[in-house]
């Protein structure tokens, strides 16, 4: 799904280098780097699951919108 969304965004004019997947940031160093890029506006679109992009990922400086595609099931 992520790759398909990225392809559609690129087709609509967003440069590929400005689209990132949070699951590619698989170390603390990479997560910090990704956060810096998003907060600086170098990454315009960040695709993430609620689990990976939720608590602890501070990218709110340039955030315009959050769109939930699939809310995780969490029984009471």
In the chain, where are the structural domains located? 2-53
Exposed, middle or buried, 25 (CB in 10 Å: 0-12/13-18/19+)?
buried
d(CA 14, CA 70): 23
H or E segment to which residue 19 belongs:
strand 19-21
In this prediction, residue 55 carries a pLDDT of: 74
Instruction: Say yes or no to pLDDT of 14 above 90.
Output: yes
Looking at per-residue confidence, does 25 or 53 come out higher? 25
Beta carbons of 34 and 20 less than 8 angstroms apart = yes
Instruction: Please provide the average confidence, as pLDDT, over all residues in the chain.
Output: 89
pLDDT digits 0-9 by tens, 33-70: 999 999 999 999 999 887 787 777 888 888 888 887 77
In this prediction, residue 58 carries a pLDDT of: 86
């Amino acid at each position: 799904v992520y790759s398909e969304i990225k392809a559609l965004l690129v087709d609509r004019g967003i440069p590929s280098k400005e689209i990132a997947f949070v699951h590619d940031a698989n170390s603390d160093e990479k997560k910090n780097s990704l956060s810096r890029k998003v907060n600086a506006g170098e990454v315009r679109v960040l695709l993430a699951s609620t689990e990976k992009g939720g608590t602890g990922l501070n990218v709110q400086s340039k955030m315009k919108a959050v769109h939930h595609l699939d809310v995780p099931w969490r029984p009471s």
